[in-house]
Amino acid sequence: MTTNMINAADAGTWRLGDLAVNRLGFGAMRLPQTGGALVPDAVPRDRGQAVAVLRRAVELGVNHIDTAAFYFSPLRSANELINSALSPYPDGLVIATKVGPARDASGRWAEHAMTPEALRAQVEENLRQLGRDHLDLVNLRILGSHDRFAERFGALAEMRRAGLIRHLGLSNVRPHHVAEAQAIAPVVCVQNPYGIGAFPEQEEVRGLCERQGIAFVPFYSLAGTRREGGRSGGDDEPAVGAVARELGASPAQIRLAWTLHQGPHVLAIPGTGDLAHLEQNVAAAAIRLPGEALAALDALHRRTA
C-alpha cells in the first residue's frame, strides 16, 4: 500500500457527541521528546520533525488528536507544537485533552492538582497553549486517589455549561466512575489502557461503552502485553508475528488492527514522532483481519489477560 493511498478514514468513523472523527487518530505524548513526554532524561524531539508529523497526520485524514498540558519536555510542549503546526485549525479537527494530573516546570508531578480550582486552571492553560476559546473534549484523568470524584467531574461539567468545554470524557476509570459521571453530565468517551492481553476489567469497560454508545479510546495499545513503554523494534508474541507475516504487515499494525476490530465504538490514538511510523500506523486503518487471524489473536488476548 503506497503512502499516497492510506487514509485514517479507512477505519470508519464514530461520533464524540456531535463531533464526527475517524476511528484512527493520533496521540501527542511522544511529540516533545523520544520515548514520550513523561519519560525522564529522554532526548528532545527535533521541532521541525514534530511539526512535520502533525501536518502529515492531518494530510492522512487524522482528525482526532489527543493531547494534554502535562505532555512536555524541557524544550517542547505538545500543545504548543499542535498550535504552531496546525493553527488556524482545519474544519473538522477535534482536539481532545486531559486534566487531573499536573506537572510543575521541572517536570515533577504537582500535589493538589485535582481540586476544582486546579482543574479550572488546567483547562485555562490548555486553552492558552492551544490558542482556542473552547476545548472540544476534556477527559478527567484519574490518577492515585479516587476520592471526591463527583466533585471533580462536577467542576468540569460547570465549565462545560459555561462554554469552555464542548464535551466531557473520562480516563483510567472503572465502570462505577462512568455511572457516577453520567449522573452529572454526558460522557462521550472513556480512555483506558487496552490492547492484546489487557486485563479483564478493561474488557468490562469496553463492553459497557459499547452498550451505552460511548467511544472507547485505548492507550498503550501498541506497547504489547501489559507494558506501558513504547513501540519496540520487534514483537515478543509469536501469534502477532505470524499474523503480521501472513498479511505483509508489521506487528504494530496488527495490534492496531486488532484493537479497531473490537467494536465500531473503539478508537485508536497511536502516537509517534517519526514520519515513517506515522504512515505505518495510519495504514493499519485499512487492515481487515481474516477470521482465522482474528481468532488466533483473540485466543492470545484471552490467554495473556
pLDDT at 208 over 90: yes
Residue 93 is assigned to a structural domain of this protein? yes
Per-residue pLDDT tens for 71-99?
A: 999 889 999 999 999 999 999 999 999 99
Residues 6+ apart with CB under 8 A from 279: 3, 6, 56, 60
Averaged pLDDT for residues 112-134: 92
Residue 276 is assigned to a structural domain of this protein? yes
| 194 flagged as catalytic | no
CB distance 138 to 98 below 8 Å = yes
Averaged pLDDT for residues 165-194: 97
Of 71, 89, 194, 220, which is the active-site residue? Answer: 71
Residue 1 is assigned to a structural domain of this protein? no
CB distance 52 to 302 below 8 Å = no
Residues 6+ apart with CB under 8 A from 35: 42, 43, 230
Residue 264 is assigned to a structural domain of this protein? yes
Helices (H), 46-86: 47-59, 78-86
Residue 297 is assigned to a structural domain of this protein? yes
Number of domains in the chain: 1
Model pTM score: 0.93
Give the CATH number of the domain where residue 133 resides. 3.20.20.100
Query: What band does 226 get if pLDDT is binned at 50, 70 and 90?
Result: very low
Domain that holds residue 213: 8-304
Averaged pLDDT for residues 52-57: 98
Q: Alpha carbon 281 to chain centroid distance?
A: 13
Of the candidates 161, 79, 151, 139, the residue with the CA atom closest to the CA atom of residue 114: 151
Query: What's the pLDDT score for residue 233?
Result: 42
Averaged pLDDT for residues 248-261: 97
Mean pLDDT (the chain) is: 91
Residue 3 is assigned to a structural domain of this protein? no
Residue in this structure with the C-alpha cell 461539567, named with its chain if needed: 157
Residue 2 is assigned to a structural domain of this protein? no
Residue 203 is assigned to a structural domain of this protein? yes
